[in-house]
Structure 1
Amino acid sequence: MSSEPEVSALAINVTVPQELRWTDTRRGEAFTLTTLNVRLLPDGRLAAKAYGRPVAGGRGAYVSFAVPDRPELADLIAQAASRAGELWGAHRGLD
């Protein structure tokens, strides 16, 4: 057994502020994207997918969308990853 545990995934969910939300279409249905799932890849880079709710209402399908290449979204992702690192680093152990 190695001295360090093998961590297979690090992921966080981030709420997209109202002013940064966008709409995209999948399978003929429009979705408003409200949440990002951000993963830390083994090489240290970040990857993100967006999730949301159908514009018409209801639960709709749970499908992922690409995050648009917008500086304000990239900044949100980077800030959220840094904040998550701070929170993880300050953990107080298992209750």
Structure 2
Amino acid sequence: MSSDLDVSALAINVTIPPALRWTDTRRGETFTLTTLNVRLLPDGSLAAKAYGRPVGGGRGAYVSFPVPDDPALASLVADAAGHAGRLWAAHRGLG
């Protein structure tokens, strides 16, 4: 295995359980946040943004929202990152 490989992106999408979902407003439109995009940064820390759909229906714009400072959401992000790491480590190569 080569340690000089340039891997430019390590990101996962995580569905937010209904009990942890929240709403936020952008440009006068209210969104229900249902998905987290979690990225592994070069320093090993995690970054997360939330995405969702307009409460009023429709597709709306693909707009990111900050993830609130909430222990339950932080735990969801950490658990999802650990689970994704185990899945990646167990890969079986190209199908």
State the TM bucket, normalised to the shorter chain.
over 0.9
**Paired letter, 1:69:** D
State the distance in 2 between where 1:77 and 1:50 align.
11
Identity %: 79
- Segments of 4+ moved more than 4 angstroms: none
Residue 9 of structure 1 corresponds to which residue in structure 2?
9
TM-score under structure 1 length normalisation: 0.96
State the distance in 1 between where 2:62 and 2:85 align.
27
State the distance in 1 between where 2:8 and 2:20 align.
30
**Structure 2 matches for 1:3-82, cutoff 5 A?**
4-82=4-82
TM-score under structure 2 length normalisation: 0.96
State the distance in 1 between where 2:6 and 2:64 align.
27
Deviations 1:51-90 (A, max 9, x none): 0000000000100000000000000000000000000000
Pairwise CA RMSD of aligned residues?
A: 1.0
